[in-house]
Amino acid sequence: MELFEVAPAAGGWALVLHGGAGGRVEELTLDARGSYVEGLTRAYKAGADVLGAGGAALDAVCAAVEQLEDDPLFNAGRGAALTSAGTAELDACVMTGDGRAGAVTACRHARNPVFAARKVMEETPAVLMVAPGVDRLTGWGLATVEPEYFVTPARQQQLANVQARRLEPARHGTVGAAALDVRGRVAAATSTGGMVNQSEGRVGDTPIVGAGTYARDGVVAISCTGEGESFIRGVVAHDVAARVRYLGLPLADAIRATVSEELTARGASGGLIAVDGAGRVVVAHNSPAMFAAYHDGTQVVTHT
């Protein structure tokens, strides 16, 4: 397991984001017009600009995730992994430290699923909504697209390669962000296209509060990526928060214990990012690699 920890920043706010655990997708690397570093840096700047201006943690994580959803190199929004039928079914979740949350699954028309998840939280009494339609999305004032918008040639080639070789679907593609703002509030957001070649209707941990996404003021905000079913069974995001809240463990120790007991011990892999109530940032993974970005006090650091 690899873990990176950064002490609280002097500015009173903190931000960390991820672009999935695992490694680079061959088909995307060959087709890429940009780079993973550029995409992560652009997303970090979008969130940092919000926080640096005194904005809310929720606005910051949504701004960061929006950039990653728009970048076809990452498995969220346009360029998401495709189901066995060649379609894109998108999941997203947001949660704020005061206990509010919203999520969507099998979303096919919201240009940015993270904003649809936020609207579920802010405009409805629900927490999780399946396949919100165009009328609902436009009623919320959100940009809509045809489902084909999310499908890229690189992802079609990836699907064809997986199906032809009968390979195990990649399980690590997700994006997310966690933040603490200057008012001491935390928030987390996560978005994904799921696993390449997954069955239609399959739902992973991303939209499940407490599994792939969790936030509680004064404790922690967390976004996860990895083998979704294992994160659901282990309620990984909440398990970390509970160790911090009830056992009083430092964030890094809580993450080490949860990853060891709920993932590694069960033969599962993935990673997570987290920000605690003091602004301490942690990036951790037991997968071969993990895309992430944060500020180390001197500069923006990216892991690719």
User: How would you class 252 by CB atoms within 10 Å of its CB: exposed for 0-12, middle for 13-18, buried for 19 or more?
Assistant: middle
174 counts as catalytic:
yes
Residues written for the chain = 304
Tokens 């430092």 -> residue: 250
Beta bridge mates, 141: none
Cα 297 to chain centroid distance, Å, stands at 23
Residues 6 or more apart whose Cβ sits within 8 Å of residue 236: 205, 211, 212, 224, 230, 258, 259, 262, 263, 272
**Alpha-carbon span 206 to 222, nearest angstrom:** 11
Q: Which residue among 83, 96, 152, 174 is the active-site one?
A: 174
**Of 255, 257, 261, 250, nearest in space to 284 by CA:** 255
The tokens describing 169, both together, are 């679907």
Q: Please list the active-site residues.
A: 174
